[in-house]
Chains A and B, each alone.
Chain A
Amino acid sequence: MIRLRRLRFRGGVHPEGNKQSTSNREIEPLPLPARLYLPVQQHIGAPAEPIVKAGDHVLKGQLLAHSEGAVSAPVHASTSGTVVAVEPFTASHASGLPVRTIILEPDGREIWEERAYGGDPLTMPPEEIAVRVGAAGIVGMGGAAFPAAVKLNLGSRQAVHTLVINGGECEPYLTCDDRLMQERPREIIDGVRIMLRALGADTARIAIEDNKPYAVAAMTAAAAAYPNVHVTAVPSLYPMGSEKQMIQALTGQEVPAGKLSADIGMVVHNVATAHAVHRALRREQPLISRIVTVGGGAVATPRNLEVPLGTLVSDLLDACGLKETPARLLAGGPMMGMVLPHARVPVVKGTNGIIALTREEVSARAERPCIRCGRCVNACPCGLLPLEMAARARHGDINGAADYGLTDCISCGSCSYVCPANIPLVQYFNFAKGALATQREEKRRADETRRLAAERTARLEAVKAARAQQAAERKRAAAAKAKESA
């Protein structure tokens, strides 16, 4: 086939891949750690509500906390054992704030909770699939951790014609999706077909960066039997793994500013999410483990580990060995990952990598003034003007930054990567986005206060009027009585 269009999006950067140390090593299971720490918030949305207490014995896969509200996800036991406590514990988050966490001591017997097979998902009603995916606690496993069931339900609200499966994995160091596609392509394709049914979409398009030739070959072979599942190799260009950029590279269509991909009939899911869907619907296994790349210059033997959720990062680092004390620990890749406060934080559903960087790798250079060279403008995959936005964010002019398209920024960090003056552009945007969110929250609160105050005034006046009326009626009745008796 002649390719008429180049499969790419505007901008983007080519960071050093650093994937070779782990991309050829098989996924290895991590032995059970001494304790598992399962936060009730491992996803975007409302925290789950624990239904177990200290001292309870639980089985592998048993529900520990149920989801709260429409956008939320439940938490299951990663192994059988005893609940030691439900208490605040450091979250896997840059803030280092504590979050309610279920602490589980494994008994080492790995006894599964008994579950009846729910039937063939490919003959199930589509809504049923979404319900089961939600009950299995599956969230977007590419890092964003958005509840997958919510995205699978989109098909019932608007027409979705294409399911895009994200095998981009454009972040340096990370190879967990690459290995998953090489080792378990049939499971992923099965998950994709189940998701196609849930969405009511016609075709699935799996996009894999062309720096993963083995994954492309394995997935193409596994998808060959299904004419509506296509595998496409896309160029290796950061941020290919971003939803909107991937759609643009694959189809040439651009998701309009402020809209969702579903508005143009497409939904994007990660390959690891498809794998989790397969496990949930074919084997009745909730999401209790995931594959994590342990890498970075400070790690002695970088590799991919299949880790029970709730394992501490320090256990992963112990298993892989450290050459030196890491200068910086990241959850996720080096471009968009989060700096961890220390290694005593758990692996959660969205943790795709643990990167321990050495002092040389993080070498921060001093920031210098902007020379308006425009490299950030060329690198921005969203077509924004990072230099203009940063200048405004820096002076606290949040609305000015928003006028330059702050809400369309995906925080990919391409601008910071290319900036010759080492300006922390993306850090300014993250700060400005937070300030914008605070501003909206304050506005919402002020409006709410005004409404409540008006309602209270109306109520008090109604009570007053009712009292006056009652008094008048009593008076009239008394007068009538007096007249009668007279």
Chain B
Amino acid sequence: MLSAIAAITTLGLTLGYALGLASRYLKVEANPLVDEIEAMLPGSQCGQCGFPGCTGAAQALAKGDAPVTLCPPGGRTLAEALAAKLGVDADLSAMGDVTPALAQVREATCIGCTRCFKVCPTDAIVGAPKQIHVVIQRACTACGKCVDVCPTECLQMEPVQTTLQTWRWPKPALAAA
């Protein structure tokens, strides 16, 4: 009995010590680039890029597995910043084609279930149980998480209308060569 306890304890201590040493001397340095990229990303963990969160996306970006245009909330500005950081050429042509859309609550069918504002990564939805919820458009990142959980499909992505404030002059057509 005693010898068994002693043997297991010795084994445990030795292996533990070996593990401790290994973790100190065989430590894998985390890529500092991942942290830097993660700091640039919005950090809303919305998952629109297809990675589990901003950390996953940052790792994929650092490895070069993901395009710099992966983050819809970051938009063109982030894509350009990432391209500069990683020293790659950004193909921004695809980004301009996405029609901007934002979540909107249809008041007629909202039952006030509170599910949507619990999942919103930027707290862009306000509401209370059995009260109609509303999306604060300025804070919405169009991640679509609320659309997925809404039981009555009252939350929909609505395309953003161009107004006088958001209208921009088009680029002059290039002269025929």
- List residues of chain A with CB under 8 Å of any chain B CB: 41, 91, 93-95, 97, 99, 366-368, 393-394, 424, 427-428, 430-431, 433-435, 437-439, 442-443, 445-446, 448-450, 452-457
Which residues of chain B come closer than 8 Å to A93, judged between CB atoms? 164, 167
Chain A interface mostly:
helix
Residues of B with C-beta under 8 A to A428: 171-172
Task: Give the residues in chain B near A456, CB-CB below 8 Å.
Answer: 121-123
Residues of chain B in range 20-38 having any CB-CB distance to chain A below 8 Å: none
Q: Cβ of B175 and Cβ of A453 under 8 Å apart?
A: no
A453-B42, A456-B121 known; A431-B163 Cβ under 8 A:
no
Whether B168 lies near A452 (C-beta < 8 A) is no
Contact A446 B167 (CB under 8 A): no
Nearest chain A CB to B174 CB, angstrom units:
8
- Check if B129 is an interface residue, CB within 8 A of chain A: no
143-177 of chain B: CB within 8 A of chain A: 162-164, 167-172, 174-175
Partner of A434, one of B74, B123, B138, B169: B169
| CB under 8 Å from chain A, chain B span 74-133 | 74-78, 121-124
Residues of A within 8 A of B163 (CB): 97, 99
Contacts known (A428-B172, A434-B169, A446-B73); A452 close to B78, Cβ less than 8 A: no
Quote the shortest CB–CB distance from A420 to chain B (angstroms): 14
Interface presence of B18 (CB below 8 A): no
- CB neighbours of A393 from chain B (8 A): 171
Q: Which of A431, A439, A450 contacts B171 (CB 8 A)?
A: A431
Question: CB distance B164 to A453 under 8 Å?
Answer: no
The reply to whether B164 and A443 contact each other, CB–CB distance below 8 Å, is no
Query: Which residue of B77, B139, B169 has the most chain A CB atoms within 10 A of its CB atom?
Result: B169
Known: A446-B77, A453-B45, A456-B122. A41 touches B175 (CB 8 A): no
Taken together as a complex, chains A and B put the C-alpha atoms of A430 and B171 apart, in Å, by 8
Binary interface encoding of chain B residues 39-55 relative to chain A, with 1 for a CB under 8 A from any of its CBs, else 0:
00011110000000000
B141 at the interface (CB under 8 A from A): yes
Q: Known contacts A437-B168, A438-B168, A453-B43; is A446 also within 8 Å of B122 by CB?
A: no
**Are B162 and A431 closer than 8 Å at their CB atoms?**
no
B168 touches A435 (CB 8 A): yes
List residues of chain B with CB within 8 A of the CB of A433.
169
A434 touches B168 (CB 8 A): yes
Min CB gap A74→B, angstroms: 18
Task: A442 to B78: give the CA distance in the assembly, Å.
Answer: 9
Q: Which of A367, A424, A443, A453 contacts B44 (CB 8 A)?
A: A453
Known: A97-B167, A445-B75, A446-B77. A431 touches B44 (CB 8 A): no
By a CB distance below 8 angstroms, the chain B residues around A452 are 44, 121-124, 139
Given pairs A93-B164, A435-B168, 9 additional interface contacts (CB within 8 A): A428-B172, A442-B75, A442-B76, A442-B77, A448-B138, A449-B42, A452-B139, A453-B43, A456-B121
**Within 8 Å CB of B168, what residues of A?**
431, 434-435, 437-438
Cα–Cα, bound, A434→B138 (Å): 20
Distance in Å from the Cβ of A83 to the closest Cβ of chain B?
22
Shortest distance between the CB of A147 and any CB in chain B (Å): 15
Beta-carbon nearest neighbor of A449 in chain B: B42
Contacts A97-B163, A434-B169, A448-B139; A453 near B77 (Cβ below 8 A): no
How distant is the Cα of A456 from the Cα of B117 in the complex, in angstroms?
Answer: 11
Least Cβ–Cβ distance between B65 and chain A, in angstroms:
22
Judging by beta carbons under 8 Å apart, are B123 and A446 in contact? no
Closest residue of A by beta carbon distance from B77: A442
Residue contact A450 to B43, C-beta cutoff 8 Å = yes
Chain A proximity of B78: nearest CB distance (Å): 6
Cβ A446 vs Cβ B172 within 8 A: no
A433–B168 CA distance with the chains assembled, in angstroms: 8
Contacts of A455 in B (CB 8 A): 123
Query: Closest CB of chain B to A410's CB: distance in Å?
Result: 15
Q: Would B141 and A449 count as touching, CB distance under 8 A?
A: yes
Q: Chain B residues near A95: list those with CB within 8 A.
A: 162, 164, 167
Please report the C-alpha to C-alpha distance between residue A430 and residue B169 in the assembled complex, in whole angstroms: 6
Cα distance A450–B170 when bound, in Å?
30
Between-chain CB contacts (< 8 Å), 24 pairs: A41-B164, A91-B164, A95-B162, A97-B163, A97-B167, A393-B171, A394-B174, A428-B171, A428-B172, A430-B169, A431-B168, A442-B74, A442-B77, A446-B42, A446-B75, A446-B77, A449-B122, A452-B121, A452-B122, A452-B124, A453-B122, A456-B121, A456-B123, A457-B43
Assess whether B75 is in contact with A431, with CB atoms less than 8 Å apart: no
| Nearest-Cβ distance from residue B72 to partner chain A, whole angstroms | 11
Docked Cα-Cα span, A99 to B162, in Å, equals 11
B73: which A residues are within 8 A, CB to CB?
445-446, 449
Q: Which residues of A contact B77 (CB under 8 A)?
A: 439, 442-443, 446
Q: Within the complex, what minimum Cβ distance (angstroms) separates B110 from chain A? A: 22
Whether A431 contacts B172 by the Cβ 8 Å rule is: yes
Chain A residues with Cβ below 8 Å from B162 are 95, 97
**Separation in Å of the B137 CB from the closest CB of chain A?**
11
Provide the residues of chain B in CB contact with A445, threshold 8 Å: 73, 75
Residue among A41, A97, A455 with max Cβ neighbours from chain B (10 Å): A97
**Which listed residue (B44, B76, B167, B172) contacts A449, Cβ 8 A?**
B44
